[in-house]
Chains A and B, each alone.
Chain A
Amino acid sequence: MEWEVVIGLETHTQLRTNTKIFSGASTTYGAEPNTQACEVSIALPGVLPVLNKEAVNCAIQFGLAVNAEIAPRSVFARKNYFYPDLPKGYQISQYELPVVGKGAVTIQVPAVGKNAAYEKVINITRAHLEEDAGKSVHGAVEGMSGIDLNRAGTPLLEIVTEPDMRSAAEAVAYAKKLHELVQWIGICDGNMQEGSFRCDVNVSVRPKGTEKLGTRREIKNLNSFKFMQQAIEYETRWQIETLEDGGTIQQATVLFNPDTGETRAMRSKEEANDYRYFPDPDLLPLAITEADKARVAAQMPELPEAMKLRFETQFGLTSYDAASLTASRELAQYFVETVDAGADAKPAANWVMGAISAKLNAEEKTLAASPVSAVNLASLLKRIADNTISNNAAKQVFEAMWNGEGEVDAIIDAKGLKQVSDTGAIEAIIDEVLAANAAMVEEFKAGKEKAFNALVGQAMKASKGKANPAQVNEVLKKKLGA
């Protein structure tokens, strides 16, 4: 039987505020334990939560960025459970009336093997504001766990999708897109090592072509895209094998072990979730007006989707190229700077997505650390455009620039890469080539098209790669009367 995997994601994004969602305690990462745990964070009796305006603004920004409905009135609720890192005995979250409603993001799924790249719309079910819990530290004192409540009360936006993804690749493409988006609009620092962006992935399988969803298992707390890919692939295989062996899937929460590459169910006893949500009487309904939305919208940067469309219309780029360039704000910025510095848009796009990205990937560098600046790249592209160097020579110049060997023109001179565009000189080279390759000329005249390319090759070789290929073509055609 052919199986289909169905995936939905819940992502906790830590909002980039100075203070906690319900108190004026700092949220700076890495402070000494409990030095940023105020009376609200540690839940002393009688304290009251006061909502952070900036956390609300972040939620509005996200809602606007995914074209979602933003609730004019949303409600905070208590999610009740006991755990030492949650001293109140409940987490303040949103349940029935979340701040952000239905929205959507368009993802780009990269090509894999024979499968071409494609775009897909992933629907967002909702996004709600909530507070983070503290952290448990094990092993410091024998038989005890240590609790650090610095993180308790840090604002989170939990973003929930519909079960719209059908492969690990789609889930990872969505997670990457969301990761870029929240950084693009500046609501989250995106630091996955520090837990600023954590994904829970719901995975189920069903016979291909059927409608009914299978029983899902939730993989908790994935904080790297690589682990996400591995965890989903393992989980999918495990579920299919279990079903094919005649077993059934029990709803469960599972953890991924990066060392073994396997998922494992958490103990199920405590897991029968019964959170007994109810509206938090300590908080009034959150009202968001049209004026609030307009004020936030006015401060937002151009969104990736809008920039993508602009790149298509303004520069004539393909949808896929425009999407790739707007995959991150940094990349888009670099491309725009290259064009602003005088490069033509299409070659600029190709070089940014090609040579630059390849180098950055290979050396695990960010664009900010690129030895070739946007202005450097533009000056290189200008030398291709004005026929000073060929595309091939440009690759050598680029390598040299990357290795810090200097400016474009200096490198071209030093390496003697200047292209020969003098028609007289090219004609002389071609005359020699024709004389030395009479057999090829005969073949061409007998109708063998391939012989023409061979002659071009000979001419390029004779010029040590410096002849302008377009001119070589032209002159050769003329001489052969083709």
Chain B
Amino acid sequence: MALSTEDIKKIAHLARIEVSDSDAAATLSKLTGILGLIEQMQAVNTDGIVPMSHSQDVVQRLRDDVVTKTNQREAFQKISPAIGNGSEARAVDGGLYLVPKVIE
């Protein structure tokens, strides 16, 4: 499977990673190399083998449905990101975390 720099840009955007045009070419060759490795693995016949979803062959432990967490809002909001623009104040208001406006 051949990737283009377009694909690199798209993947980078989806992951919210900034990749400059000059870096895109290098990233492209690295990713193409990884895909080559995957292609090589895909050549192996895996018929009848259950896909591995975890490296450990154990199953999920379950937790009882009991409240164990207490309200730590104050502690968490003390370390939440600052508003910025020179202000060290935390971006919180009335218990809400503040982010740049998102409107659908």
Closest chain A residue to B63 by CB distance?
Answer: A50
Contacting pair A33 B96 (CB below 8 A): yes
B14 contact set on A, CB distance < 8 A: 80, 274, 276
Determine whether A370 belongs to the interface, using a CB cutoff of 8 Å to chain B: no
Least distance between A223 CB and chain B CB atoms (Å): 16
Chain B contacts of A18 at CB under 8 A?
Answer: 65-67
Complex contact B71–A39 (CB within 8 A): no
The answer to whether residues A145 and B102 also contact, given A32-B95, A34-B96, A279-B53 and a CB cut-off of 8 A, is yes
A299: min CB distance to chain B, Å: 14
Q: Roughly how many angstroms separate A255 CA and B104 CA in the complex, as a whole number?
A: 10
Instruction: Evaluate contact between A144 and B62: CB separation under 8 angstroms.
Output: no
Per-residue interface assignment for chain A, residues 268 to 301, with 1 indicating a CB less than 8 Å from any chain B CB and 0 otherwise? 0000001010010101111100000000000000
Which stretch from B22-30, B39-47, B72-80 is at the chain A interface?
A: B72-80
The distance from the CB of A282 to the nearest CB of chain B, in whole angstroms, is 10
Whether B95 pairs with A34 at a CB distance below 8 angstroms is yes
Which residues does chain A contribute within 8 Å of B103, judged by CB atoms? 138, 145
Closest residue of B by beta carbon distance from A87? B97
Which residue of chain B has the shortest Cβ distance to A267 in the bound complex?
Answer: B104
Residues 85 to 99 of chain B near chain A (Cβ within 8 Å)? 91, 93-99
Cβ of B80 to closest chain A Cβ, rounded Å: 9
Task: Determine the chain A residues whose CB is within 8 A of the CB of B55 once the complex forms.
Answer: 281
Q: Does B20 contact A (CB under 8 A)?
A: no
Instruction: Judge whether A23 is part of the interface by a CB distance below 8 angstroms.
Output: yes
Give the CA-CA distance A144 to B102 in the complex, in Å: 8
Say whether B69 contacts A26, CB under 8 Å.
yes
The smallest beta-carbon distance between B90 and chain A, in angstroms, is 12
Residue A38 at the B interface, CB < 8 A? yes
- The answer on a CB contact under 8 Å between B93 and A284 is no
A147 neighbours in B (Cβ, 8 Å):
96-99
- The B interface, classified by DSSP as helix, strand, loop or mixed, is loop
Which residues of chain B from 1 to 35 have any CB-CB distance to chain A below 8 Å in the complex? 10, 14-16
Contact B54 A284 (CB under 8 A): yes
Query: Which of A24, A82, A276 is the most central at the interface, judged by chain B CB atoms within 10 Å of its CB?
Result: A24
The answer on a CB contact under 8 Å between B69 and A144 is no
**Judging by beta carbons under 8 Å apart, are B59 and A286 in contact?**
yes
Cα-based distance from A138 to B64 in the complex (angstroms): 36
Q: Is the CB of B98 within 8 A of A146?
A: yes
Spot the interface stretch: A52-60, A160-168, A321-329, A404-412: A52-60
A17-B65, A18-B66, A83-B102 known; A51-B60 Cβ under 8 A: yes
Contact A52 B62 (CB under 8 A): yes
A35 close to B65 (CB less than 8 A):
no
B interface residues (Cβ-Cβ under 8 A, vs A): 10, 14-16, 53-56, 58-69, 71-73, 76-77, 91, 93-104
Q: Can you name 8 A-B pairs with beta carbons within 8 Å?
A: A18-B66, A24-B69, A32-B95, A34-B76, A42-B76, A144-B100, A146-B96, A281-B54
Known pairs A26-B67, A53-B65, A255-B104. 15 more at Cβ < 8 A?
A17-B65, A18-B67, A34-B97, A39-B72, A39-B76, A42-B76, A50-B61, A51-B62, A83-B102, A138-B101, A144-B101, A145-B101, A146-B96, A267-B104, A284-B59
Closest 5 CB pairs of A and B: A146-B96, A24-B68, A54-B65, A287-B59, A33-B95
